Amino acid sequence: MNPPVKLLDLVRQRIRLKGYSIRTEKSYTEWIRRYILFHGKQHPKEMGKTVMTPDETRWVISAMRGVHQLMAEILYGCGLRVLECVRLRVKDVDFAMNQIMVRDGKGAKDRINADTSWGWQYVFPAGKRSVDPRPGILRRHHAHETGVRRALKQAAEMAGIDKPISCHTLRHSFATDLLANGYDIRTLQDLLGHKDVSTTMIYTHVLNRGGKGVVSPLDAR
């Protein structure tokens, strides 16, 4: 029996099959290697399966403090990606409708007076100002995502959670908890911002509920 092909060797095979340059091959494999190391040497096929139970999620979030705890609550409560969270602006939080709007910028014309308008200020601003390298202007950027990532890992250790936990784990837990509570896959697709429902379908497999999540009438008796 032949030994299984290593992931990076498989990546190299596919890149060469497509005729990409050696520079592209080195760049892709290096970034994949870093990504795997960042996630505790977890295989990419397993990353999407890492979820916490609702109790585990509450334990981890309760072990956090201050602004990082609020960020974690938003990641889990809304299913946001970590960059979507740190880039939230005041105008994107609608307390009347009890919702958060995730937007993509349409260019500079949508950001006229953004430096002084209250609605365009970041919900999670950086502690210090820095020079924006493109226009060379001194301004206050949003908080860096490494802070909440570090705080989440420390909280998981304090809570005794023996799983490879990341900010994306909270997004996975948001999705699986909604499915477990009976929400349909199309609603979940819309909330997660997936273009293709097949991306969302992975969560049905995480729950071991099959493609449709249908319960047999016989089992329901």
Catalytic residue numbers read 81, 106, 168, 171, 194, 203
Cβ atoms < 10 Å from Cβ of 202 = 14
69: tokens are 């705890």
- Confirm if 29 and 10 have CB atoms less than 8 A apart: no
Place of tokens 């020079």: 131
For 197, phi then psi, to 5°, come to: -65, -20
In a 3-state reduction of DSSP, which class is residue 130? Answer: strand
**What's the token pair of residue 167?**
């900010």
Distances in whole angstroms, Cα of residue 80 to Cα of each of 4, 101, 156, 191: 35, 10, 19, 9
> Residue 172: which of 190, 196, 188, 186 has the closest Cα?
188
